[in-house]
């Protein structure tokens, strides 16, 4: 797995509260821009269904924490930590994400 930052898209291409899937170092990464302008990246694989769908999930918050709910079974994951907020002990990997000029970069 690469430790390098990979440019994946322009910041303005990301719609707030919507996810997109990008390929970084051979991994599907779900990338999100929240209403406050924050960027979050986590693995696109839903651990409950085994499908690569988290980028299509419902973005929201729980107790002020940015989240995404799986579009299949609706389990909610923290965008900050990858922890499942509905099932203790389940998590998805999170990846570094940053803004470099107008470009969004992910490190997987």
Domains of the chain, by residue range, sit at: 6-107
Question: CA 41 → CA 34, 82, 108, distances in Å?
Answer: 11, 9, 9
pTM: 0.93
Per-residue pLDDT tens over the stretch 40-87: 999 999 999 999 999 999 999 999 999 999 999 999 999 999 999 999
Nearest to 101 by CA among 17, 20, 5: 5
Q: How far apart, in whole angstroms, are the C-alpha atoms of residue 28 and residue 5?
A: 15
Per-residue pLDDT tens over the stretch 19-48: 999 999 999 999 999 999 999 999 999 999
Q: Which CATH number fits domain 6-107: 3.40.1390.10, 2.102.10.10, 3.40.50.11030, 3.30.1360.120?
A: 2.102.10.10
Q: How far apart, in whole angstroms, are the C-alpha atoms of residue 69 and residue 14?
A: 18
């Amino acid at each position: 797995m690469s430790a390098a930052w990979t440019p994946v898209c322009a910041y303005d291409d990301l719609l707030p509260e919507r996810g997109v899937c990008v390929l970084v170092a051979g991994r599907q990464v779900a990338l999100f821009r929240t209403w406050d302008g924050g960027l979050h990246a986590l693995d696109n694989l839903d651990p409950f269904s085994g499908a690569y769908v988290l980028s299509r999930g419902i973005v929201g918050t729980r107790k002020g924490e940015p989240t995404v709910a799986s579009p299949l079974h609706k389990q909610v994951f923290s965008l900050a930590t990858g922890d499942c907020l509905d099932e203790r002990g389940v998590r998805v990997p999170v990846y570094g994400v940053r803004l470099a000029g107008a470009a969004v970069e992910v490190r997987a």
